[in-house]
Chain A
Amino acid sequence: MMASFAQLGNDLYTGKRSFDIVGRRKTWMVAAAGLVLLSIILLVTVKLNPGIEFRGGSEFTVSGVATTEQQPAYDAVDSVAEGQQPRVSQVGGDSIRVQTEELTDAQTTDLKEALAEAYGVDVNSVTSSFVGPAWGADVTTKAIQGLVIFLVLVTLVMALYFRHWKMAVAALIALLHDLVVTVGLYAGVGFEVTPASVIGFLTILGYSLYDTVVVFDKVRENTEGVLEQTRYTYAESANLAVNQTMVRSLNTSVVGLLPVASILFVGSFLLGASTLRDIALALFIGLIFSTLSSIFIATPIEVALRQRDPAIAEHTATVLAKRAAAENAAGEDDDAPVTVGSYAGGLRAGAHRGQAAQPVRRKSRR
């Protein structure tokens, strides 16, 4: 199976086999737009569920406890308000601090009783109060400030590196898609947003750009002298680049996903709600879509943008005209319709006409 995987890589590289990714960009755009729309709907209807760190919540202090184990507190919270992710810690020698999301008055009373029972103390030894957000507004403001500056800088850097601003724009669009979809689907799953998940989203930001840069680097390499030849159009060269990096993209995403998936599943099954699960879910969704977007969104958008350049448009027209002329000259008996798609992977073994006149190489070796 692996040999065939390697063979696939070889075929994709030479263009013997080719996925027409750039040519069918409308399909991907519609799919991506649908996903983004779905994410926005999820964000509007289901909404993100910010955790204690962002909203503040209720804090209970149980003093004079017999045992400082934390599990009874988790169980008590679960019995009163299910699905919550309380923060439990031991304070001093004989106190337990439990922080939960904001509870109703009835729930507060219930939880006080449950905690008193769980730790074998009088209800009066359990005090409750409101606790403010640990992740204050200033933390968020500064993080957003940092993000905006980062995006501006990275656009500049990419525009300089690729020597074309359209690549930077395409990478940014792919990035926004990844971010919206990741956050939207995260909201859809209904996990609480904790600082850990925010950090997961930020990681995705970096990874999405990282992955796109790798693919674009190949596109840049393949299209370097594209205007100086008339065999392939810009779109076909770019498509070849995507195909040539496909095996890399697959391998990388599998390698990246394996540890994340193992944290996600181990984290969910063994721990229930936990910081690990939050960050792993954010990363799991984000990694998948970052890889997909670098293949199906970034390059197609970049090609769509670049084809508006007069030079590229003219070149594409020239190539297609030459090709049509060659088709006609080659004889009317070849009635297979020639589409751009069939050329999208560069040379098709046995189909290119340029070497058709050359002697056929003998199959058996000496």
Chain B
Amino acid sequence: MSNILATRPAIKAASGTGPRGRRSPSDKFAPYLFVSPFLILFAVFGVWPILHSLILAFYHTNGPKSQVFAGFDNFKFLFADPDFHTAVWNTLVFAFWSVVLQIPFALGLAILLNQRWLRGRTFLRLAFFSPNLLGQVFVGVLFSVLLAPQYGLVNKGLHALIGLPLDTKWLANPALVMPALILTSLWLYVGFNMIYFLAALQAVDKELYEAAMIDGAGPWRQFLAVTLPSIRPVAVFVLVTTTIGSFQLFELPYIMLNNSAGPDNAGLTVVMYLYNNGFVTGNLGYASAVGWTLAIGVLLISLAQMRMTGAWKAEAK
């Protein structure tokens, strides 16, 4: 108690209040002065472009100079365009399978690599994480060669193992493009998400396991009753970031499908649709409308996910 009392004057002095508890004018402005460089830069390079893109979304932009107010026309066209529907569908499919496959795989790996009996744990952690060090463009190039028909390693392997035809066109057959993208992204990101789960697992209170064991809980029961509730905040975080990341998918299909959306637009994602309209066709107004629609969509899905997983309730507790 005496220690707490002893620190009070020091806190008071550091807070910068005067003898009567009033702040001097310079004290009031000081915090703003210190954060002002960031705020100015953020306003110029963050807030203004965002607001400008919102304005632009309501204009037809024809060429670099001409803008004609179009009301909601960009949004109307967007929702009627079959390519946008394809892009949304592809993105949703990719996001769904990314979440469904990546989270269990990442969690499974994390649990495995958290076991003390496993030899070479550190090396394996590095090995599983290392694809993430490469970057999407490199991985895209790598997998476009691995998945090549006739000569690709994947086809050669599958031909030897299960007799799959050598000329299987992973990236030229509309039905196989999405599985190829999902598997590539799984290879790329599962190790990354594993790190989050690993950190969460290491923070779980060991006494909880001991208590569960005393109560007669087996490994599966311990996993359900102790591990999962303990790592829930991290799982929600991984779920939301994986979903958001999936909705931002661009580089991987763009590189793997040779700067295109692939056969029959099978690899067209919403961001690629945005890029094609904004930077290939040069219609920045329309691209802004796509961008805002995507942002609102991602926000709604993230909110829904957080609500469904009870993230806010946990936060409130």
- The judgment on whether A and B are partners is no
